[in-house]
C-alpha cells in the first residue's frame, strides 16, 4: 500500500537508517514514486533534533550552536515551511546584504539550494525579494542599516549570525529592535535567529530576557552531514582552547569582568588576512624558565604602511628545550623576513642570547628587560586595540584565550600558569608601536 504524506512525515533519519536493509526496502517500496523523489528534500526525515522548531507557541527561537551544526539549513527550512502560507511576509536579515544573498539565499544551505526543483521561489536580486508560488514573500535586509527595518511590517523573520552584526553605536541592537517593532502581521509573529555563540551585547540581552527559546548544540550533532575528518582536523587545529569550546561546542564564553581584552573587542579587530603591506616585521619571544614549564611565546607582528599594527602568526612552542625553541625563533624570523627579534631577557639574559645566537648568528636580536609586570606592560597595548590601531590577521585561539585572561588589577585568569603567548605579543607591539623604532633590516642567513 502506498504511504500517505502524513506517514512519510513521521519517518526520521535515525529510524530509517536503524532498519535492516530488508525493512528499509519495505518502507521505501511503500512510498509512491513522487515520495521517493521528495525523500531527499523532506526535512522532517533528515533534520536532527536541534534543527526542529520548538513545539507550542513561541515568539523567538535562538539557535546558538557550533560551526557546522546545521544552523543555516534549519533557518532556511523553517522559512520554506512558513512560505506555504500565502499571507507570510518574511524578513531575511544578515550582517550585510552581501551575506544575506550569499548565505541565506544562494548558499548551499540557502533558500534556493534546499528547495525542490520546480518549487524554488522567484528571486529578484535588484528588489531584494523572493516570491513563492503560494504568494508568500521574503525581503532581504542588512543589519548594518537599522533604519531600513523601520517601517516595513512582517509576519516572520530569519536573522542569520546575529553575533556578527555590527555592534558599533549599538547598531546591532537597533536593527533587532526595529525588526521586533515591525513584526506585527498575522496571528502569531515569529523570529528565528541562528548564530555561533559570542558574548556580544545583543546575544547577552536576548538570553537575559524572556524573548527567546534557546537551542544549544555542538558541531558533533551534525557529524553525519559533515565531510569525513572535518571534526578531527578542526579539533587538532583548535585543541581544547576556549575558542574551540565556543566555535565547536557551541558554548557561550562570557568575558571576564575586568579583563584588558574582551572577545567582542578581538572580533572587531579581526581581518581574514593582512590587508596592507608590512613596513616593519618583528618576532617577539617570551622564553620559558625551563623545558618542563611554560610554553615559549613566539609571536609575529608587523606595522603596515597604513600605520596599523597586525598580528600575523603565533609560532609558540610547548615544552621545548632551549635549543628547540631557539631554532623555532630563527625559523620564524627567516620565514617572515623579520627586521627585528625581540627577546625578554629577565630569565637569564646571557643564556637567552647564547642559545639564539647558536641557532643563527645573523639573527637581528635585541634583548629587552621587563621593569614592570606582564599586565602593566599589556595595558598600553590593550589601549591600541581599543583605538582601532591593531588587527589580528586570522584566528589565534591559544593566544586570544590568554589575552582575555589578563586582568586590570595585575591578575592572570587565563589558561595555563603564565600568559607566555600574550607576553610575546605585548613585546612585539610595544617594539613596533610604543618603543623606539630603528631602521628596517633585511633578513639574511
| pLDDT tens per residue across span 143-167 | 999 999 998 999 999 999 998 898 7
Banded model confidence at residue 21, pLDDT cuts 50, 70, 90: low
Burial zone of 16 (CB within 10 Å; 0-12 exposed, 13-18 middle, 19+ buried): middle
Q: Which helix (H) or strand (E) holds 440?
A: none
> Taking 90 as the threshold, does the pLDDT of residue 333 lie above it?
yes
Residue 16's pLDDT is what? Answer: 64
| pLDDT tens per residue across span 61-95 | 999 988 888 899 999 999 999 999 999 999 999 99
Which residue in 420, 404, 398, 427 sits closest to 295, CA to CA? 420
Q: Helices 420-429 & 374-386, crossing angle to 10 degrees?
A: 60
Residue 1's pLDDT is what? Answer: 40
Residue 80 to residue 133: CA distance in whole angstroms: 12
If one counts every other C-beta atom within 10 angstroms of the C-beta of residue 414, the result is 22
Banded model confidence at residue 350, pLDDT cuts 50, 70, 90: low
Q: What percent of the chain has pLDDT over 90?
A: 46
Q: In the chain, what are the domains?
A: 5-46 (no CATH), 49-225 (3.40.50.300), 263-434 (3.30.420.240)
> Taking 70 as the threshold, does the pLDDT of residue 431 lie above it?
yes
Backbone angles phi, psi at 284, to 5 degrees: -110, 145
Whether the CB-CB separation of 225 and 256 falls below 8 Å is answered with no
Whether the CB-CB separation of 427 and 368 falls below 8 Å is answered with yes
Amino acid at each position: 500500500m502506498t504511504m500517505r504524506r502524513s506517514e512519510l512525515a513521521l519517518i526520521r533519519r535515525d529510524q530509517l537508517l536503524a532498519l535492516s536493509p530488508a525493512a528499509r526496502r519495505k518502507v521505501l517500496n511503500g512510498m509512491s514514486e513522487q515520495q521517493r523523489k521528495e525523500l531527499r528534500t523532506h526535512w522532517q526525515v533528515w533534520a536532527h533534533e536541534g534543527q526542529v522548531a520548538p513545539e507550542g507557541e513561541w515568539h523567538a527561537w535562538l539557535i546558538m550552536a557550533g560551526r557546522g551544526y546545521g544552523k543555516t539549513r534549519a533557518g532556511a527550512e523553517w522559512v520554506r515551511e512558513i512560505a506555504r502560507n500565502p499571507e507570510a511576509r518574511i524578513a531575511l536579515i544578515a550582517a550585510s546584504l552581501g551575506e544575506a544573498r550569499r548565505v541565506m539565499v544562494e548558499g548551499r544551505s540557502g533558500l534556493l539550494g534546499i528547495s525542490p526543483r520546480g518549487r524554488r521561489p522567484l528571486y529578484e536580486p535588484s528588489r531584494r525579494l523572493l516570491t513563492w508560488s503560494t504568494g508568500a514573500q521574503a525581503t532581504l535586509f542588512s543589519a548594518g542599516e537599522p533604519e531600513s527595518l523601520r517601517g516595513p511590517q512582517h509576519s516572520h523573520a530569519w536573522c542569520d549570525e546575529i553575533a556578527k552584526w555590527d555592534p558599533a553605536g549599538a547598531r546591532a541592537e537597533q536593527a533587532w529592535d526595529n525588526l521586533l517593532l515591525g513584526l506585527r502581521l498575522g496571528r502569531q509573529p515569529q523570529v528565528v535567529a541562528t548564530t555561533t555563540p559570542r558574548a556580544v551585547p545583543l546575544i547577552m540581552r536576548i538570553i537575559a530576557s524572556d524573548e527567546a527559546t534557546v537551542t544549544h548544540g555542538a558541531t558533533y550533532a551534525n557529524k553525519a552531514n559533515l565531510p569525513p575528518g572535518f571534526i578531527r582536523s578542526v579539533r587538532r587545529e583548535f585543541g581544547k582552547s576556549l575558542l574551540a569550546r565556543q566555535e565547536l561546542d557551541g558554548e557561550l564564553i562570557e568575558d571576564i569582568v575586568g579583563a584588558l581584552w574582551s572577545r567582542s573587542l578581538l572580533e572587531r579587530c579581526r581581518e581574514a588576512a593582512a590587508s596592507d603591506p608590512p613596513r616593519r616585521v618583528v618576532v617577539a619571544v617570551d622564553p620559558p624558565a625551563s623545558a618542563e614549564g611554560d610554553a615559549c611565546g613566539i609571536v609575529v607582528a608587523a606595522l603596515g604602511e597604513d600605520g596599523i599594527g597586525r598580528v600575523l602568526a603565533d609560532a609558540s612552542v610547548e615544552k621545548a628545550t632551549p635549543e628547540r625553541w631557539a631554532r623555532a625563533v630563527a625559523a620564524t624570523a627567516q620565514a617572515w623576513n623579520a627586521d627585528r627579534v625581540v627577546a625578554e631577557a629577565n630569565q637569564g639574559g646571557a643564556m637567552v642570547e647564547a642559545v639564539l645566537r647558536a641557532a643563527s648568528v645573523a639573527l637581528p636580536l635585541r634583548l629587552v628587560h621587563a621593569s614592570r609586570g606582564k599586565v602593566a606592560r599589556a595595558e598600553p597595548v590593550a589601549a591600541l586595540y581599543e583605538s582601532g590601531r591593531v588587527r589580528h590577521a586570522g584566528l589565534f585561539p591559544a593566544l586570544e584565550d590568554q589575552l582575555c585572561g589578563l586582568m586590570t588589577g595585575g591578575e592572570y585568569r587565563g589558561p595555563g600558569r603564565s600568559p607566555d603567548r600574550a607576553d610575546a605579543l605585548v613585546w612585539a607591539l610595544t617594539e613596533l608601536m610604543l618603543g623606539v623604532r630603528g631602521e628596517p633590516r633585511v633578513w639574511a642567513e
